[in-house]
Structure 1
Amino acid sequence: MGHDPHSSSSEPDLYRDTWVRYLGYANEVGESFRALVPKSLVWATYGVATAYVSADAVDKGKKASKAHSDDPDKTARVTVAVVDTFVWQALASVAIPGFTINRICAASLYLMGRVTRWPLPIRKWTTTAIGLSAIPFIITPIDRSVDYLLDSSLRKLYSTHSSTPENSRST
């Protein structure tokens, strides 16, 4: 939840430096509870995370618009800010961690069914605990991997006019 090093503002970023950042992890929590709750509740957590991603992208677009109000390339800079933020957040906060926690939980539930004689409710609660405890360990590697992926692909498309987008998460 670190501060964006490329931000030109000294005030905290609502979407990255406050408790609001944790809304981006709602789907990982939902995936951790998948064995215990209705699937519709898990999908609702994806809705929360997607709303967070969208709000951050809009926020970064507004900040880029304000920062480049007199720039003839204002529209391009705003577009870059929105697209970069949305793609980064969609991958780093929703898609990759959601898939990762889903697979960790599925594997742990399966393995416990094969190697223990624990009753199903105990295995499901243990799976949820494993999923929740894995979240802090996957965040930084996924964030850095998405930075590398975008730096190696999408960001090369718009890096010809600026060195690094204002909303890059690289630390």
Structure 2
Amino acid sequence: MTGDNQEGGSGEVDIYRDTPVRFLGYANEVGEAFRALVHVRWVRLSYVVASGYVLADTQDKASKKLKSGGDNKEVAISAMDTLVWQAFASVIVPGFFINRLCAASLFGLARALPKVAEAKRKWAVTGIGLGSIPFIIHPIDNMVHMVMDNTTRKWIGK
């Protein structure tokens, strides 16, 4: 969880950032971790869940900005900032990372342990993928903040 309320320090709990709801944004990482064991439709469904979370948070931030008296430009900037941040921090970057980590792990285990049953190697890879999720959340969140602070947020004056 980022604990970062981009809309300012109102002290209000942000359900999408400060509660376990935040983990819905990582549904696709769970899907990627299980990719070796499940049909691809389950992986795709995990992306639907994560994308729904991203869109719900985007709508929430835009709605809050509108209710606080923001004009159309401020509402659009808030929505865009949230959409881009969540898309990269919750779906794109961690999904790619887990996908590549699991693919490399499966390849490496096949080379290092060819006599171990493939099913056992796939379960090991799933464990590696799932086990890495808690360790990648904060570094990815921080990286996306840094990149956006130096790119899109500068361009839009946020």
Normalising by the residue count of structure 1, what TM-score does the alignment of the two structures yield? Answer: 0.87
Unaligned ranges ≥5, structure 2: none
Deviation at 1:11, TM superposition (A): 2.3
Unaligned ranges ≥5, structure 1: 165-171
**Alignment identity in percent?**
50
Separation of aligned partners in 2, 1:46 and 1:5: 24
Amino acid at match of 1:30: G
Listed as ranges, the matches of 1:63-142 within 5 Å are 63-67=64-68, 69=69, 74-116=71-113, 117-142=115-140
**8 Å contact from structure 1 (residues 109, 123) kept in 2:** yes
SS in 1 for 2:38: coil
SS in 2 for 1:129: helix
Q: Does residue 1:60 correspond to 2:61, yes or no?
A: yes
Cα root mean square deviation, aligned = 1.2
Separation of aligned partners in 1, 2:95 and 2:42: 14
Separation of aligned partners in 2, 1:137 and 1:41: 24
- Name the structure with the higher helix share: 2
**8 Å contact from structure 2 (residues 88, 144) kept in 1:** yes
Normalising by the residue count of structure 2, what TM-score does the alignment of the two structures yield? Answer: 0.94
Deviation at 1:2, TM superposition (A): 4.0
SS in 2 for 1:95: helix
Amino acid at match of 1:130: I
The total of aligned residue pairs comes to 156
Separation of aligned partners in 1, 2:5 and 2:12: 12
Deviation at 1:17, TM superposition (A): 1.1
Amino acid at match of 1:149: V
SS in 1 for 2:29: helix
